[in-house]
Structure 1
Amino acid sequence: MFTLIFMNFITGLSAFIFARLIVLKKNNLEFVITFFILFFAQVVITLEILGIFKALLLKNVIALNCFLLAMAFLVMKSKGTNISGIFSLNFNLQDLKINKIVMLCFSVILGFGLVKVLINLVSPPFGWDSLNYHFTFPVEWLKNANLANPIVVSCDPSPTYYPINASLFFFWLMLPLKNVFIADLGQVPFFALAFLAILALGGKLGLSKVNSIFAASLFTLIPNYFKQLEIAYVDVMVAALILAALFYIFCLREEFSLRYTFLYAISLGLLIGTKTTAIPFAIFLFIPFLYLCIKRADIKKSFLLFFVCSGFII
């Protein structure tokens, strides 16, 4: 368990530093969403690199992420940013304007959420997708230290070519413990990401903070969505990444810049690599970006950002 905590700490710290360097404004919601995206991207990229070179071992994963953490500190130093500036967050509980109704929303979500998490922890993994490939693939990777996917139940070849970003995240949680005890809760962080993305989108649409909290709470409590706390599927991940990409579209609408293009492209790339059926959603999310590129008066910058976006998505 200590190894799991340490591995996530060093990865989270490097993602935290990069997110703070990218998010220039003191916007806590934008920062946390960016932190989630960069953390997930770092997990996927590091595991894919090691898997390609057939070196997918725990010691190599930790070493590579320690290297990225060192790079984060070097970048921070090169920009002349001190540690106190990186770790300072402009957060005030009074800004949330928490009233009794908001507290009720949080209580319902946390109460029922903890029950479902407990059910998940005490029950063995179940669900066709989990047992067929979401967990089967990581077990194979644990054995062989590479990303070779086996033929699954009934010799169906199609899941062998299924997007593996979610399976990589499950593998990340399985690697230190060599079991699925924590990996079965792999979708929990994405519930938080989806909630925060809706909260941020509400602000972009001009909703008050209280109404944004209501919207995020109602979305979280959709029965077929909320029940996925009990199973290790990928649908919540897909929903969270769609909302994150949509949030960055709104950011690009306000500031058409390289950093938002990078974050939008990373979100969209992670989305496409998580589930095959996410591709149509990704196409619809790419259309607004293409429109923003065409709309810009600076054609050279628009085409540059278009190709940068396409590259990061791939």
Structure 2
Amino acid sequence: MAIVLIFASFLFAIAILYLRENQFRLAFIKACIIHGCLIIFSTELLSLTRSLDFTHVASFWLITSLVNFSVLWNCYRKLPANRTFKLKSNFETLDRASQISIAVTIAVLLISLITALIAPPNNWDSMTYHMPRVMHWIQNRTVAHYPTHSLRQISFPPGAAYIVTHLQILAGGDRFANCVQWLSFVGSIFGISLLTKKLVGEQAQWISLVLCASIPMAIAQSTTTQTDLVTSFWLVCFTYFLFASPDFKSNLFWMIGSLGLALVTKPTAIIFGIPLFVVFGFLTFRRSFIQNSSVIKSCLNTVKVCSIVGLGSLTFPIWSWLRNAQTLNQFLGTDMGTRSEVNSLPELISIFLKNLSLNLTLPGLRQFITLIHEYFLKVDVNKPALTLGNPVVAFSTIRTSPLNLLFPMEDSVANPIHLILGVVAVSYLWSSYFRRADQKLRLLLLSGAIATGYLLYCYLLKWQPWGNRLLLPLFILQTPIISYYLADCLKIRSNLSVKLTSLIGVVAILYALTPIRHPLVPLPNWSPYLAQGQSESILWLPRQQIYFGGSLKYLEITDRKIVDTVIDRDHCHTIGLISGEDDWEYPLWVLFNEKTSGNFRLKHVDVKNESAKLEPEFPDSELCAIVSTKGHIQSIP
């Protein structure tokens, strides 16, 4: 299959970098950045001439693979004859807790990979806009905007979807669509362990592996086509290279690439990236001042370096931002009503507390926060200016049992252990004494960037019941701080360290086995909330049935009836679609493709929003049927 081309290129790049630097984890994240850059810019360039098709994409990756192979062969020939690798012996020298940490991490990653490959995309957002826009791009052979009922398909940052598009074109289907998030999970674990090694020490890096691999939201998202893990990975890369070397010049490309890839993936990268960029500016000034002792020269150097990184990273999202400005008159696209209207400190505290409650599953906590709003903050807990959604999903009514937040749902699962550990670790960090002042400074700067990112998030975005997934980058970035705390507190308590690592590992494996919408081992339906989205084991379900195995099982009958009627009765292969902003579209693409072996076209018709003015994907005169997501079918003579 042609999909081998992109994976071959990736593996060749890892091998090249590993041979040069002798660090596999660093080689992995650098290869990811290189290929992320290649995908973003090749997609945009191919789209200019409507060449985003199998022939051109396969040719691009064939050439890239051949170039990488030739470079690899040249590097291999220059290797010393006595070059050896001792991964096994290195593992055996580690203590018991570190060995368990590595073993658990590998187990979680393998289980998640199996799930990602067996289960097709069936997350809600995947059905409504993540995967449909990929299908429209492939059909149109360009990522140019098109008329759509769901503005999220064209206005939301496309970075992760570009990677899925390349995989979809080369594989001829969505078998590898979930692997983008899974690879980001692997990269986040590798990157955070390297960051921990740099900021804390050799021993703590192994603790960070299991801490990162056991974050429930990260595990849940690693088998979906959502974008929060991808965003987290690029921010982890930027943070690592930010602290990696006193000389920024050697890492400028990697910093520009990782930050740019984060910006083109999700708007939250701007919120969480700003504090990290400020840290970058501070460290640049500090290092420059130490070298030349001149404030003016240090300021000028800081402005120059920060401008290079900032402007360089903006070349990644600027293409989609310009399209948004042309279509929607705003660079970042439609915000879907998520922007907060905070006007006072009590309102900021309101969102701060409600977001904390998404990760704390204590009984009565939500009622306690409601009382604080009523008697102290004097703010309506469901104030529309601060809360996304209608009263059905308001803070005071959603999920009567806090245990529902523990279910492995990729939209809402809580991270209570990691939140508590994070708060304790930051408190310990600020009250502890470091022998190395520079190490203390770097960890304090990281903790400050995380705290600032959270405050910015609370200030800029409304509270939303599924908002915990947006906070995933902060949970991953706090791992080095928790690792320092645990390494410092448990360094003389080896038995306790083994027990804690084992406990966290068991919980992580359970989460990896039981994602609600595509479990290997389904949870018992003892909760009405769980029963709404619980799927049967994907080991026994046909792949086509798994698309509907989660939230909307009943939709399979309706969609199959639509497809059978249009194709069998009307013999129609050019279809118009009428849908709502949040209606499932991707299953129709899957079923039409199955029925016609890909010989069909589909576009949105009767569009009423700003995208209606755009050039149609194909003329209305070619339509022979119009369907709606409500099950209505209209034949066109």
> Could you tell me the TM-score, scaled by structure 1's length?
0.83
Are 2:172 and 1:186 aligned? no
Partner of 1:274: 265
Structure 1 residue 109, shift from structure 2 partner: 3.3
Taking the TM superposition and a 5 Å limit, the aligned residue runs for 1:162-173 are 162-173=156-167
Are 2:231 and 1:238 aligned? yes
Alpha-carbon distance in structure 1 between the residues aligned to 2:71 and 2:101: 41
Partner of 1:224: 217
1:200 equivalent among 194, 205, 216? 194
Alpha-carbon distance in structure 1 between the residues aligned to 2:112 and 2:14: 29
Taking the TM superposition and a 5 Å limit, the aligned residue runs for 1:1-314 are 2-13=1-12, 17=16, 19=17, 26-68=22-64, 82-85=75-78, 91-93=85-87, 94-96=89-91, 97-150=93-146, 155-209=149-203, 211-252=204-245, 254-257=246-249, 259-295=250-286, 296=288, 297=292, 302-314=302-314
Inter-CA distance 192–53: structure 2 relative to 1 (3 Å threshold): same
- Flag the structure with larger Rg: 2
Q: Secondary structure at the match of 2:171?
A: coil
Q: Secondary structure at the match of 1:147?
A: coil
Q: Which moved more, 1:259-268 or 1:105-114?
A: 105-114
Given that residues 20 and 86 in structure 1 are in contact (C-alpha distance below 8 angstroms), is that contact kept between their aligned partners in structure 2?
A: no
Alpha-carbon distance in structure 2 between the residues aligned to 1:54 and 1:139: 14
Q: Secondary structure at the match of 1:38?
A: helix
Q: Which moved more, 1:278-287 or 1:124-133?
A: 124-133
Q: Which moved more, 1:61-70 or 1:131-140?
A: 61-70
Q: Secondary structure at the match of 1:125?
A: coil
Question: Which amino acid in 2 is paired with 1:162?
Answer: F
Alpha-carbon distance in structure 2 between the residues aligned to 1:167 and 1:149: 14
Question: Which amino acid in 1 is paired with 2:310?
Answer: S
Q: Secondary structure at the match of 2:265?
A: coil
> Could you tell me the TM-score, scaled by structure 2's length?
0.43
Given that residues 262 and 308 in structure 1 are in contact (C-alpha distance below 8 angstroms), is that contact kept between their aligned partners in structure 2?
A: no
Alpha-carbon distance in structure 1 between the residues aligned to 2:118 and 2:224: 12
Structure 1 residue 14, shift from structure 2 partner: 5.0
Which structure's residues are more often helix, by fraction? 1
Q: Deviations over 1:250-274 (max 9, x none)?
A: 024x2221x3011111100000111
Alpha-carbon distance in structure 2 between the residues aligned to 1:256 and 1:119: 39
Alpha-carbon distance in structure 2 between the residues aligned to 1:76 and 1:304: 35
Given that residues 134 and 170 in structure 1 are in contact (C-alpha distance below 8 angstroms), is that contact kept between their aligned partners in structure 2?
A: no
Given that residues 16 and 35 in structure 1 are in contact (C-alpha distance below 8 angstroms), is that contact kept between their aligned partners in structure 2?
A: no
Q: Secondary structure at the match of 1:175?
A: helix
Listed as ranges, the gaps of 5+ residues in structure 2 are 315-637
Question: Which amino acid in 1 is paired with 2:283?
Answer: L
Structure 1 residue 16, shift from structure 2 partner: 5.4
Structure 1 residue 309, shift from structure 2 partner: 1.4
Alpha-carbon distance in structure 2 between the residues aligned to 1:214 and 1:151: 49
Alpha-carbon distance in structure 2 between the residues aligned to 1:307 and 1:20: 30
Q: Which moved more, 1:234-243 or 1:143-152?
A: 143-152
Q: Deviations over 1:177-225 (max 9, x none)?
A: 221111122211111111111111111113223x211112112111122
Question: Which amino acid in 1 is paired with 2:134?
Answer: P
Alpha-carbon distance in structure 1 between the residues aligned to 2:40 and 2:264: 10
Inter-CA distance 192–124: structure 2 relative to 1 (3 Å threshold): closer
Structure 1 residue 140, shift from structure 2 partner: 1.0
Given that residues 28 and 90 in structure 1 are in contact (C-alpha distance below 8 angstroms), is that contact kept between their aligned partners in structure 2?
A: no
Inter-CA distance 190–158: structure 2 relative to 1 (3 Å threshold): closer
Structure 1 residue 308, shift from structure 2 partner: 2.5
> Number of residue pairs matched?
302
Alpha-carbon distance in structure 2 between the residues aligned to 1:145 and 1:100: 53
Q: Secondary structure at the match of 2:200?
A: coil
Given that residues 3 and 176 in structure 1 are in contact (C-alpha distance below 8 angstroms), is that contact kept between their aligned partners in structure 2?
A: yes
Question: Which amino acid in 2 is paired with 1:6?
Answer: L
Structure 1 residue 66, shift from structure 2 partner: 4.3
Given that residues 244 and 267 in structure 1 are in contact (C-alpha distance below 8 angstroms), is that contact kept between their aligned partners in structure 2?
A: yes
Structure 1 residue 85, shift from structure 2 partner: 4.1
Q: Deviations over 1:224-267 (max 9, x none)?
A: 22111332211111111111110000024x2221x301111110
Alpha-carbon distance in structure 2 between the residues aligned to 1:43 and 1:101: 39
Alpha-carbon distance in structure 1 between the residues aligned to 2:153 and 2:75: 47
Q: Deviations over 1:143-180 (max 9, x none)?
A: 1111134455xx24244211101001111211122211
Q: Which moved more, 1:241-250 or 1:56-65?
A: 56-65
Question: Which amino acid in 2 is paired with 1:256?
Answer: F
Q: Deviations over 1:125-149 (max 9, x none)?
A: 2112211222111111111111134
Given that residues 15 and 39 in structure 1 are in contact (C-alpha distance below 8 angstroms), is that contact kept between their aligned partners in structure 2?
A: no
